[in-house]
Amino acid sequence: MESPEDIRRDLPPDLDRSETEPLVALGLRLQAQALVPAPTFRGALRRKLLGAERQRVAAISPSVARILAASYVTSGLLLLAIAAAGLVGSGPFAPS
């Protein structure tokens, strides 16, 4: 837990003491009353996050990976062909 001096250090130096003290009191009260999620919620969240990670790893099959890789390669080659056509002087992006 922070001390009042730590909170005062974060405040602008040009504040009057009458403005600083209520802010320090508020900061200390907020630290003391910090909400912590219930253990059941934290456990459910942990299980959900770990389960999602496991599903993500096992979700893609080798055949789907091959199809994705082939589509990425095809689209990359198509973009390279369009860029090459533009450099030659023909194609949709050729300088006029």
pLDDT at 80 over 70: yes
pLDDT digits (tens, 9 = 90+) for 20-73: 999 999 989 988 888 888 999 998 888 888 876 565 555 678 899 999 999 999
Compute the distance between CA of residue 38 and CA of residue 35 in angstroms, rounded to an integer. Answer: 9
| 86: enclosing H helix or E strand | helix 62-88
Rounded to whole angstroms, the Cα distance separating 61 from 53 reads 16
Cβ-contact 58, 38 below 8 angstroms: no
